[in-house]
Amino acid sequence: MTARIQRLADLDRTIHEPARLMVVALLAAVQEADFQYLHQATGLTKGNLSVHLSRLEEAGYIEIEKSFRGKYPLTICRLTDLGQGALATYRKVMKAAM
């Protein structure tokens, strides 16, 4: 039991933060989504979301692509394979501990 609980110390803190976990879980459930969609779905402020996306991009968990659709700027986010793996590991550790 103790060993299982101690595994929580191995949790990936980049993903463990609730807002980032929400973003990563959302991106895992879709192929890609833009900033506005993530803003609407998560309820995070734009500034907050922007900071979390930068952290995830720095960690290599998501990739961000900026483009335009007509005059509308699109900031498209996708979960990378590394991000998929990190989320799967996070879930495994949580499941083992709980």
Partner 1 sequence: MQDSTNLPSSLDPSAAARQLIQQAHNQDGLPEIAIGLTFLLVSGLIGAQTVLPKGSFAAKAVIVTFAFLLPVLGFCTPSAIRWVRNRFLLARVGYVQPKPAGRQQIALGFALALLVTAALFGVVTGALRPDAWLIAGTGVLGGALAAFSGRLPRFVIYGVVMAAVGIAIALASVPIETGFTIYFGLTGLMVLVSGCVVLLKLIRQPLEAGD
Binding site residues, partner 1, CB under 8 A: 21-22, 24-26, 28-42, 46, 50, 69, 72-76, 84, 87-88, 90-91, 94-95, 98
In DSSP terms, which residues pair with 79 in a beta bridge? 62
In DSSP terms, which residues pair with 63 in a beta bridge? 78
Nearer to partner 1, 13 or 95 (CB): 95
Nearer to partner 1, 9 or 98 (CB): 98
Q: Largest Cα–Cα distance in the chain? A: 56
Q: CB 3 → partner 1: shortest distance, Å?
A: 19
Give CA angle at 48 (34, 75), nearest 5°: 20
Q: CB 22 → partner 1: shortest distance, Å?
A: 7
Contacts 24+ apart (CB under 8 A), 42-47: 44/19
Q: CB 35 → partner 1: shortest distance, Å?
A: 5
